[in-house]
Amino acid sequence: MLPDPDPVRAFVRRHPAVREATRRIRVHLPERFGGIDPARLPPRVRRFELPLPRRGVTPPHQPDAIRVEAPGDLWLPRHLQRGGLAGYEPESLACFLAAVEHARSGAVLDVGANIGIYSALAAARSDRAVFSFEPTVEVATVARTIAEENGLDYTVLSLALSNHTGTAALRLSAISDASNSLATGHRPEIGRREVEVDTLAHWRERQAVVPAIVKIDTEATEPEVLAGALELLRSFRPWIFCEVRPALGVAERLMALLEPHHYVWFHLEGAPPYAPRTTITAREDHHSRLWLFAPGMPPAHFWDAAAEWRTALADC
C-alpha cells in the first residue's frame, strides 16, 4: 500500500462503516462545527431501477430496466437515480449503441468502466462478449453486482490499463469517486492505492479476444491506454469511444497516436450526424467530452441508428 497524503480523510473514505458513523454524528452538529443537513445525508445503500432505451429492432426478451444497488455516496448511482440515462452522456451512449449494432463481430471493451453502465447496455442490447475494466475495488464490486443481479453476461476486471505492465498508484480523488486516476496532478488527492496494471494489447493476447468496440474513460490517462493498444488498432480496427479532457495535453497526445492509423474523429456533441474533425480539441465549456474515433467514415444508417437511440434515451 502506498502512503496517503491525507491519512485521516483517506481512512474515512476507505471504510464505509466509519464514514457512515461520522455522518450520523455530523447531522447533530451546527454547520460551523462541520455539521451537515440531514436532508443531504445519502442513504447507506441506494437501490433503484434504471430504465433502458429500446428502439424498434430491440428483441422483446431484452430487459426494459436494470436494478442498481450501490453504496449511497457513490457519485454515478446518485446521478443516475436523479436523471436516468437521459441525463448521463446521451450523445455518446446513443452512438455507442449504434456501434454495438453496426460494428463487425467482436467484443466490447469498457476501459474505466466505473459501475459499468456502458458494459450493461452492451450486454443488455446485444450478444457480444463484454469486458469491463475498473481498478477502484468498491466501484468494480458494484459493477459485478449489477451484472449478477440482472443476469447480464459481462466480465468485470479489477485492473487498470495503461502503456506498461506491473503496478501503479491509483490516486483517489478528493472531488469524486468517479475521477480516481493514475495521472499525477489530475485532481486533488485524499489517498493512493497500488493497483495492478496491464496493457490492452497484452491482455487481449492472453485472452484471445477480438475487439470490435473500445470505450476509454480513465480520467486523463486515455493516451496511455491507447499507447498500450496500438497493436489492436493495426490488427482489428475497433471503433473507439474516448473521453478527451482539457488537461495534461490529452488531445495533442491522442492525435499523435491516432494519425498514423487513419482514424476519423468525431466530437459527440449535439444531435447526430456529426461532421469529421481535422483536430481533436478539448475545452472546459464543451458539454460532452466524448469523442468517436472511427476506423472509417460511418455510413448513413449508422447515424440514423444513433439518432433513434438518442430519441429512445430521451424517452426512457
If we measure between CA atoms, which residue out of 251, 183, 257 comes closest to residue 227?
A: 257
Helix (H, G, I), strand (E, B) or coil at 100: helix
Same domain, 118 and 16: no
Q: What is the reported pLDDT for 61?
A: 82
Strand-by-strand arrangement of the 264-267 sheet: 155-157, 130-133, 107-111, 211-216, 239-243, 290-294, 264-267
Residues of the chain with pLDDT > 70, as a percent, come to: 86
The span from the CA of 46 to the CA of 191, in Å, is 25
For the CA atoms of 292, 87, 127, 232, the dihedral, rounded to the nearest 10 degrees, stands at 30
Q: Is the pLDDT of residue 4 over 50?
A: no
Q: Is the pLDDT of residue 29 over 90?
A: no
Average pLDDT over residues 218-246: 96
Q: 1-5, 155-159, 308-312: which has the minimum mean pLDDT?
A: 1-5
Structure confidence by residue, pLDDT tens digits, 123-182: 999 999 999 999 999 999 999 999 999 999 999 999 999 999 999 999 999 888 899 999
Same domain, 65 and 18: no
Same domain, 10 and 85: no
Q: What is the reported pLDDT for 43?
A: 84
Same domain, 94 and 207: yes
Q: Is the pLDDT of residue 100 over 50?
A: yes
The span from the CA of 149 to the CA of 124, in Å, is 13
Model confidence band, residue 3 (pLDDT cutoffs 50, 70, 90): very low
Same domain, 157 and 28: no
CATH of the domain at 306: 3.40.50.150
**CB of 222 closer than 8 Å to CB of 249:** no
Structure confidence by residue, pLDDT tens digits, 234-290: 999 999 999 999 888 999 999 999 999 999 999 999 999 999 999 999 877 667 799
The span from the CA of 242 to the CA of 107, in Å, is 17
Query: Across the chain, where does the E strand assignment appear?
Result: 45-51, 65-71, 107-111, 130-133, 155-157, 160-161, 166-173, 189-198, 211-216, 239-243, 264-267, 290-294
Range of the domain at 27: 1-41
Model confidence band, residue 2 (pLDDT cutoffs 50, 70, 90): very low
Q: Is the pLDDT of residue 84 over 90?
A: yes
Q: What is the reported pLDDT for 12?
A: 53
Same domain, 19 and 136: no
Q: What is the reported pLDDT for 284?
A: 73
Cell of 253: 497526445
Burial class (CB in 10 A: 0-12, 13-18, 19+), 118: buried
pTM of this prediction?
0.88
Same domain, 238 and 296: yes
Same domain, 12 and 118: no
Same domain, 253 and 143: yes
Q: 19-33, 54-68, 279-293: which has the minimum mean pLDDT?
A: 19-33
Same domain, 28 and 56: no
Same domain, 153 and 195: yes
Q: Is the pLDDT of residue 1 over 50?
A: no
Q: What is the reported pLDDT for 161?
A: 98
Domain count, the chain: 2
Same domain, 162 and 258: yes
Average pLDDT over residues 95-104: 97
The span from the CA of 62 to the CA of 28, in Å, is 47
